Structure 1
Amino acid sequence: AAKLGLAVEPVSTQVIPRDRHAMYFATLGVIASSIERLATEVRHLQRTEVLEAEEYFSPGQKGSSAMPHKRNPVLTENLTGLARMVRGYVTPALENVALWHERDISHSSVERYIGPDATITLDFALGRLTGVIDKLLIYPERMQKNLDRMGGLVHSQRVLLALTQAGISREDSYHIVQRNAMKVWESDGAESLMELLKADPDVAAKMTASEIEDRFNLDYHFKHIDTIFDRVFS
C-alpha cells in the first residue's frame, strides 16, 4: 500500500465512498483519450494522400480487403475503439458515487465488470501503443514533398509578423500576405508565395529579398526540438 501511495480512508461508513473509485476510473478515461489522440494522429499520417508516417507493415501483410494497394492502420484503429471502451466505464463509476444512506451495495455489481475490464483494456492498449511507436515508419522526404506542394503557404505567419515589425499595421500586413497567399491557394501550389511576395510592391518597400527568403527557412521551426525533448525525457 505504501508503494502505491495508498492510505486509510479518513471518513467511511459501511463502504468506502465511491468518489475515490470514480476519480480512478476517470483518470483511466483520460489516459485512454491520450492514447486515442496519438492513434488518431498516426491514422491521419498514414492516409494514402498524406503518407508521412505509418504503422509497421510486414512483408505479405494484407491491408484493405477490397483495395490491395492500401496499408490500413489496423493497430491504431483498434486503439481508437479500445479508448472508447475505457471511457465508457467512467459513467458507471460516476453513477456509483450516490449510494443510499452511503452504504448500499449497488456499486459492487458494476465494479465487478468495470474494474477488470477497464484496467485490462487500458493495459493492453498501452502495450499496443508502445509497439506502434517503437516500430513506426517515418517518411521525412514525403513530409518535405507535402510542404513543397503548398507553395510556401506554411510560412505566411512569419512574413505577417515581419511586416508588422517593419512598421505596417497588423490588419494591413494580414491583408497583404493573404492576397498573395490566396493566389497560391487557388493555383494549388503552382505559384510560389515567396516569389509573389518579392514582386509585391508593398512588401518590397519594407523587406529585402533576402529578408523574405529568411522567413521561408524551416530551420527556424526546428530550433527548440532538442529543448522540448530534453524537457520531456531528461
Structure 2
Amino acid sequence: MASTVIDSKVFGALFGSDRMKEIFSDENLVQCWLDTEAALARAQAKLGMLPNEIAEEITKKAKSEFLNIEEIGEIYKSSITIVPLLKVFKKALDNNAGEFVHWGATSQDIVDNGLILQIRQAHIEIEKLVKDAYLHALNISEKYKDTVMPGRTHVIHALPITFGFKTAIWAAELKRHLDRLEEIKPRLFVGQFAGAVGTLASQAEKGLEIQKLMMEDLGLNIPVISWHPSRDHIAEFINLLALISGTIGKINHEILSLQRTEIGEVEEPFFMGKIGSSTMPHKRNPQVCENIIALTRNIRSQAPLAVEVMNCENERDWSCEISEWDFVPRSCILMATALEKTNDVLENMIVYPKKMEENLDKLHGLMLSEKVMLHLGQKLGRLTSHEIVYETCMKAFQEGKHMKEALLENETVAKNFTEDEIAEMLDPKKYTGLSDVLVERVLNNK
C-alpha cells in the first residue's frame, strides 16, 4: 500500500520517475549490497583467502531474485545493520558458503558501497536528462535567435532582446551543470571497504589488496582512507542536484510568467483533453510548470539536510546513514521527474512570436529610452541627456503619449533630431545589441 506521493497510484505521475524508482527500489538496493558482497568474496578468493568454489557460489546466488526481501524487512525491525541481508542470503547459499560471506567487512562498508552504486546509476540518468534539456534549449535558441521580444528587468520592460537570447542563457547554465556532473565523478564514485572503525584491522595483511580488487571489480575509485564518518561527497551531490533544480525551477517559472494572459508570449505544451479547471472550461493553466516548480522546491530543501548530515560523531554514526537513506532517493527521484517533465515542456513549448512583437510597444516607445539618451548624450553629455530623456519619459507615461510624440514636443530633442531619426531610434528590432552573436557563441560552445 503506497503511503507517499512518490509511490502513490493517485499522485505518482506528478512525483515519481519510473526509471529512478527502479534504481532506488528495494530490489535494486539489495542487489547493490549483494554486488558488493560478491565482489568482496571474489577479491578474497583471488588472494587465496577463500576457496574459489565458495566465491563462485556467493557470486552465483548474489541475485536479489533469490532472496525474500520482505523477510529482510522483518529482521530490520530489530536491526539496522547488514545482518538482515546476511541472514536471508545465507539461506540461499549451498556448500556452507554463507559462513564466508562478509568476511572482514563491517555493515557500513556494504551499505555505503551499495549507496554509491545506486547513486552512480542515478547520476547516469540525471546526466542524460540534463543533457537532453541542454540540447532542447540550444534548439530553441537557434530557432528563435532573431525573434525580438521585450527584455524585462524587475518585471518591467527594459530593452529588446531575442527569445533565442533568453533561452541561450538557459542553455549556458545547463551546460555548466553538465560540467559539474562530470567534475564530481572522481570524488563521488568512491567505494567503501574499511572494517569496523575504518582501519581494516580484520584484514590488515591483505586489506588494501582486497580493497583494490573490489573497487576494480565494481568500477569504483579506491578510497584513500575510510569515509564512514565523512559524508561531504554525498552532500556535494545533493547540493549539485539543488543547483540543477534551481535552474530547472527558474526556467519553468519563466515560462509560467510569460504564459500570463497579459503577456501570452509562450505556453507550456497543450493538447485537447488537457483540463485546466473543473469550473472554468476556458482555462489553459501552466499546470506542468507549476508541478515542476513544486518538485524543484522540494529538491532544494534537501540540500541543507545533506550538509547537516556531515556532522557525524566519532568513527561511525548511523544517524547520518539513516538520513541519507531517505533524502538521497527522494532527491534523485524528484530531480529525474522534474527533468523529464521539463524536457517535454522545452521540446513541445508553444511560442507566440506575434505576441512578442505586439508586446514590444506596450510602453509606447519608452523601452528605447536608453538608445535616445545615448544618441542625445553624444551632443549634450550623458547626465544632461539622461535628465532630459527621463523627464520626457515620465511626461509621456503620465499623459499616455507615445515616446515619439513626447520627444518631438521637447525643444532640445527636436532641435537635435529629425522626426525620421527619432522614429529610427524607437525601432526595437534595431536595438537588440549582440543578441545574435551571443547566441552563436552559446551554440558553438557545445
Correspondence for 1:173 among 364, 385, 392: 385
Residue matched to 1:92: 305
Q: How far apart, CA to CA, are the structure 1 residues paired with 2:284 and 2:396?
A: 32
Alignment of structure 1 residues 27-176 onto 2, 5 Å = 27-170=240-383, 172-176=384-388
Check whether the contact 1:46–1:73 (CA below 8 A) recurs between aligned residues.
Answer: yes
The CA distance in 1 between the partners of 2:431 and 2:406, in whole Å, is 22
Q: Given that residues 17 and 102 in structure 1 are in contact (C-alpha distance below 8 angstroms), is that contact kept between their aligned partners in structure 2?
A: no
User: Contact 1:9/1:16 (CA < 8 Å) preserved in 2?
Assistant: no
Offset of residue 60 of structure 1: 3.4
| Structure-2-length-normalised TM-score | 0.48
Q: Does 2:218 match 1:8?
A: no
Q: Paired residue for 2:394?
A: 182
After superposition, the Cα gap between the structure-2 partners of 1:92 and 1:210, relative to the gap in structure 1 and judged at 3 Å, is same
8 Å contact from structure 1 (residues 48, 70) kept in 2: no
Alpha-carbon distance between aligned partners in 2 of 1:159 and 1:221, rounded to the nearest angstrom: 11
State whether residues 229 and 317 of structure 2, in contact with CA within 8 Å, keep that contact through their aligned partners in structure 1.
no
SS in 2 for 1:101: coil
Instruction: Write the letter of the residue equivalent to 1:85.
Output: N
Judge conservation of contact 2:299–2:331 (CA < 8 Å) in 1.
yes
Is 2:253–2:289's contact at 8 Å kept on the other side of the alignment?
yes
Structure 1 position 195, deviation (Å)? 2.2
Q: Is residue 2:412 matched to residue 1:202?
A: yes
Gaps of 5+ in 1: none
Contact 2:364 2:401 in 1 (8 A): yes
AA aligned to 1:76 is C
* Residue aligning to 1:225: 435
1:16 shift after superposition: 5.6
Question: How far 1:205 moved relative to its partner?
Answer: 2.7
Asked if the contact 2:360/2:428 (under 8 Å) is kept, the reply is no
In 1, Cα distance between equivalents of 2:436 and 2:224: 45
| Count of aligned residue pairs for this structure pair | 229
SS in structure 2 of the partner of residue 65 of structure 1: coil
CA distance in 2, matches of 1:169, 1:33: 38
Unaligned runs of 5+ in 2: 1-119, 121-181, 190-220
Q: Which has the larger radius of gyration?
A: 2
Q: How big is the alpha-carbon RMSD for the aligned residues of Structure 1 and Structure 2?
A: 2.1
Asked if structure 2 preserves the Cα contact closer than 8 Å seen for 1:63 and 1:72, the reply is yes
- Could you say which residue in structure 2 is the equivalent of 1:23? 236
Identity fraction in percent:
32
Deviation at 1:175, TM superposition (A): 2.2
Q: Is the CA contact (8 Å cut-off) linking 1:21 and 1:93 kept in structure 2? A: yes
8 Å CA contact 2:372–2:425 kept in 1: the answer is: yes
